[in-house]
Structure 1
């Protein structure tokens, strides 16, 4: 009986991981005390092996419903192997509906996950190691109820735009 359960679990786990074949890199950082400090730049380093492909870059965010604002401003900076700035932008994303206050994202209980696009179908000039830096740009030094922040890089060639 336990052997059958183990086999079923292995099939389920392998099925779940096979569904994410476009992912090149993903890392999430849990924030201490559920707080994102303004001068705390989160840096993610990833490898690009094929510069002929196009990639989608996202930032992930996990917040609680107690987050005190409707939105979040995040500045991202993409750097190449030499530290040269390739792309930078201040992005504003809504976490809650402006009128109803209903949370956006995928939620379970009072925790909600978001995946926000930064660059779609982006082509790197060369293979190598790249860095993506994320900083919160809200009007508070300490941004409470942000549980984790992360980055995801996907191969865009298998996706329909």
Structure 2
């Protein structure tokens, strides 16, 4: 069973990467969560080098399973400038499953699904340098089962 989960996870990551090829992504990174559980205290932090002074779209990605107990997710995100200044902090409510039928809304097969959500449509990265983006799960439970990976993607 463990081998099958790892094989399914590997196939989904490969499919996600292949479908992302040719996109206008400036940055993309996904972090696998230990045992498919996102602990509230486990902030997911991403450091992104921005080489220009332009606006870019920012997305976050979740890979989740049918073990996830809710239809939606609350995520707080923070963006820090290269000097460490907090530029923005917002809460996002997004839907992973149809709340009436329980049907997964993401792409996938079997029991594993992927979903990407927009955080910022045109974020002002006015300074060149390394920005930090933090994602924190804000659900009522400290341990969210069924979240396998969390990722960030930045596009032109």
Tell me how large the CA RMSD over aligned residues is. Answer: 1.4
**SS state at 1:75 partner:** strand
Provide the rounded CA distance (Å) in 2 between the counterparts of 1:123 and 1:85.
13
Mapped contact 2:55–2:126 kept (Cα < 8 A): no
Find 2:22's aligned residue among 1, 4, 19: 19
Matches within 5 A, 1:1-161: 19-20=22-23, 22-51=24-53, 53-155=54-156
Provide the rounded CA distance (Å) in 1 between the counterparts of 2:19 and 2:111.
24
Gaps of 5+ in 2: 1-17
Gaps of 5+ in 1: 1-14, 156-161
Shift of residue 54, structure 1, vs aligned partner:
2.1
Shift of residue 126, structure 1, vs aligned partner:
1.1
The TM-score with structure 1 as length reference comes to: 0.82
Q: Which residue of 1 aligns with 2:5?
A: none
1:26/1:35 CA distance change after superposition, 3 Å: same
The TM-score with structure 2 as length reference comes to: 0.85
1:73-129, Cα deviation, whole Å (9 max, x unpaired): 100000011110111101111101111111111112111101100000222111111
Provide the rounded CA distance (Å) in 2 between the counterparts of 1:82 and 1:136.
25
Q: Extract structure 1 runs of 4+ deviating beyond 4 A.
A: 15-18
Mapped contact 2:40–2:142 kept (Cα < 8 A): yes
Provide the rounded CA distance (Å) in 2 between the counterparts of 1:74 and 1:119.
13
Q: Tell which structure's C-alpha radius of gyration is larger.
A: 1
Provide the rounded CA distance (Å) in 2 between the counterparts of 1:31 and 1:123.
30
1:104/1:120 CA distance change after superposition, 3 Å: same
